[in-house]
């Protein structure tokens, strides 16, 4: 089995492509070892001690190294864990964990106004069709979190979370796209 690797815009994160489907639907972001307990694969990656984030996409896994950790030393260990996992056809999640999908938690501060339903539908459509595929190519995901008085709130995940270029991506890319197609949008903010 060959697992390809790709650099991402985030120098702390590498994207690993096992040549097969990782998640049939949705994505899953693990930001702590406690969250990773739902997945034997994520838990094994965090157990290396030098991993601070694991993200499962449709056909890739993004792994974020701790500050100061060099990828040349960590990469063989990550590849070993991934090879063992996929060669043995191990389950991605523990049975009964209900962890096979990611549903962003509700935030009381981001409740959409029903009067903005058409605007929100346009924003979500643009994010799903134009933004998410590009962000997935970089080893991450972006999740719609809310729309309030012209401001769109988005959450960056995977390689995009904490990436030095994520602010530029939000402001110069996503914000301009949304403003162009949805004139009601005045600003995009990360949450």
What pLDDT digit, counting tens, does each position of 6-42 carry?
998 888 999 999 999 999 988 899 999 999 999 999 9
Which burial class, exposed, middle or buried, applies to 72 when counting CB atoms under 10 A from its CB (0-12, 13-18, 19+)?
exposed
* 155 phi and psi angles, rounded to 5 deg: -115, 125
Three-state secondary structure call for residue 88: coil
Query: CATH 3.30.1370.70 in the chain, residues?
Result: 4-88
The pLDDT mean for the chain works out to 87
Please give the CATH number for the structural domain made up of 114-190.
3.30.300.130
Give me the pLDDT at residue 167, please. 73
Q: pTM for this one?
A: 0.75
Cα gap 144→168, rounded to integer Å: 18
Region 151-179 average pLDDT: 81
Give me the pLDDT at residue 105, please. 47
Q: What CATH number does domain 4-88 carry, 3.40.50.1220, 1.10.760.10, 3.30.1370.70, 3.50.50.60? A: 3.30.1370.70
Q: Are strands 187-190 and 151-158 parallel, antiparallel or unpaired?
A: parallel
* 121 phi and psi angles, rounded to 5 deg: -60, -40
Percent of residues, the chain, with pLDDT higher than 70: 91
Cβ atoms 115, 129 nearer than 8 A:
no
Cα gap 178→120, rounded to integer Å: 11
The 187-190 sheet, strands edge to edge:
140-148, 151-158, 187-190
Using alpha carbons, select from 106, 92, 107, 112 the residue that is nearest to residue 26.
92
Question: pLDDT of 83-110, one tens digit each?
Answer: 999 999 999 998 865 544 444 444 445 6
């Amino acid at each position: 089995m060959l697992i390809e690797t790709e650099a991402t815009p985030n120098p702390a994160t590498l994207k690993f492509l096992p040549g097969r489907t990782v998640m049939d639907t949705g994505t899953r972001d693990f930001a702590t070892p406690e969250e990773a307990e739902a997945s034997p694969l994520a838990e094994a990656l965090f157990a290396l001690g030098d991993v601070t984030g694991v993200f499962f996409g449709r056909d890739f896994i993004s792994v974020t190294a701790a500050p100061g950790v060099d990828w040349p030393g960590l990469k063989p260990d990550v590849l070993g864990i991934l090879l063992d996992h996929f060669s043995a056809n191990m389950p991605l999640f523990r049975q009964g964990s209900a962890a096979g999908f990611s549903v962003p938690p509700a935030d009381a501060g981001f409740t959409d106004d029903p009067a903005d339903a058409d605007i929100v539908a346009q924003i979500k459509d643009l994010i799903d069709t134009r933004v998410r595929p590009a962000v997935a190519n970089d080893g991450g995901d972006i999740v719609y979190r809310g729309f309030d008085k012209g401001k769109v709130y988005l959450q960056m995940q995977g390689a995009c979370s904490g990436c030095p270029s994520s602010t530029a991506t939000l402001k110069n890319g996503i914000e301009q796209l949304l403003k162009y197609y949805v004139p009601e949008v005045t600003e995009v903010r990360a949450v």
